[in-house]
């Protein structure tokens, strides 16, 4: 099916995401897959720190879906550090147009993110930091402009969960290369989790080599199956 021009990442000839149910899809694949709500709930009272890594940031759809989920969760005192990376950053205007289709579901969150992102100098490589105050607590977005392996290497504290969302392995094998997946494994704490939309053999093998135990789970929308993983040591 032809990709509508506003959804096309021309660097990879691929869409940023499937536009139908993309917010619900994010919740099923990435948030159920990594178990974030269960993990936060199990932490009990007091500040609940949680570190996330994402490849790649794109139009921020996963971030918006996550904030929406946490806002509705009823859990409080959460401190999320959201580390993401983007090799081909888009303008805030483009971001608004790509995620504008979800305005009915998450309009105020789109405005929040687009406003914060519009302060990012996208021509400047390295970390860009934004802090968002929410009903659930605080979310700190650390966005690395540059290549994914640089961002992973720049992390000083391992993540609790990874959202692997960097286009399909046929369109973008680089973001699934074994060297990068190994580095992601090293920057995941023991019993940390990961999730992705692809069940491709090369991705499964790369994640296993990186120390994750992987498991298929039922897909969502057009996808029959998706993948989740847990770092065992």
Q: Which is nearer to ligand SAM, 49 or 174 (CB)?
A: 174
29 makes contact with ligand SAM (CB under 6 A): no
Per DSSP (E only), the strands in the chain are 8-9, 14-15, 48-55, 78-86, 126-134, 137-145, 159-164, 188-196, 212-218, 225-231
Q: Which of 78, 148, 164, 181 binds ligand SAM (CB under 6 A)?
A: 148
For the bound state, the minimum distance from the C-beta of residue 42 to ligand SAM, rounded and expressed in Å, comes to 26
CB 69 within 8 A of CB 37: yes
Q: Rounded to whole angstroms, how far apart are CA atoms 33 and 202?
A: 19
Among 36, 85, 116, 139, contact with ligand SAM (rule: CB under 6 A):
85
17 touching ligand SAM, by CB under 6 A:
yes
Q: At closest approach, how far in Å is the CB of 133 from ligand SAM?
A: 22
Output 28 or 48, the one with its CB closest to ligand SAM: 28
Q: Is 164 exposed, middle or buried (0-12, 13-18, 19+ CB in 10 A)?
A: buried
Residue 181 touching ligand SAM (CB under 6 A): no
Q: Using CB under 6 A, which of the segments 58-66, 69-77, 110-118, 154-162 binds ligand SAM?
A: 58-66
Given the complex with ligand SAM, which of 5 and 46 has the nearer CB atom?
A: 5
Q: How many residues does the chain have?
A: 233
**Shortest spacing between CB 149 and ligand SAM, in angstroms:** 7
Residue 170 as a binder of ligand SAM (CB under 6 A): the answer is: no
Least distance in angstroms from the C-beta of 111 to ligand SAM: 16
Residues 223 and 197: beta-carbon distance below 8 Å: yes
Quote the CA–CA distance of 7 and 97 in Å, as a whole number.
9
3-state secondary structure of 195: strand
Other CB atoms within a 10 A radius of the CB of residue 150 amount to: 15
How far is it, in rounded angstroms, from Cα 175 to Cα 80?
A: 24
Q: Which of 139, 141, 143, 147 binds ligand SAM (CB under 6 A)?
A: 147
Q: Which of 33, 53, 60, 206 binds ligand SAM (CB under 6 A)?
A: 60
Find how far residue 29's CA is from the centre of its chain. Answer: 11
Residues that bind ligand SAM (CB under 6 A): 9, 11, 16-17, 56, 58-62, 85-88, 147-148, 165-167, 172, 174-175
């Amino acid at each position: 099916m032809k990709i509508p021009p506003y959804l096309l990442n021309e660097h990879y000839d691929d869409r940023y995401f499937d536009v139908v149910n993309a917010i619900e899809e994010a919740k099923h694949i990435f948030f159920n897959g990594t178990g974030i709500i269960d993990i936060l709930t199990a932490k009990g009272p007091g500040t609940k720190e949680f570190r996330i890594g994402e490849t790649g940031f794109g139009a921020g759809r996963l971030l918006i879906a996550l904030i929406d989920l946490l806002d509705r969760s009823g859990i409080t005192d959460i401190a999320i550090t959201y580390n993401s990376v983007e090799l081909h950053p888009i303008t805030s205007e483009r971001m608004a147009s790509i995620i504008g289709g979800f305005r009915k579901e998450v309009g105020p969150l789109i405005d929040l993110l687009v406003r914060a992102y519009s302060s990012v100098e996208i021509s400047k490589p390295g970390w860009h930091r934004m802090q968002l105050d929410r009903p659930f607590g605080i979310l700190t977005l650390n966005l690395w402009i540059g290549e994914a392996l640089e961002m992973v290497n720049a992390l000083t504290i391992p993540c609790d969960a990874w959202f692997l969302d960097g286009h399909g392995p046929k369109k973008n094998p680089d973001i699934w290369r074994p060297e990068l997946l190994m580095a992601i494994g090293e920057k995941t704490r023991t019993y940390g989790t990961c999730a992705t939309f692809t069940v491709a053999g090369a991705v499964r093998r790369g994640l296993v080599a990186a120390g994750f135990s992987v498991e298929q789970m039922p897909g969502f929308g057009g996808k029959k199956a998706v993948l989740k993983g847990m770092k065992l040591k």
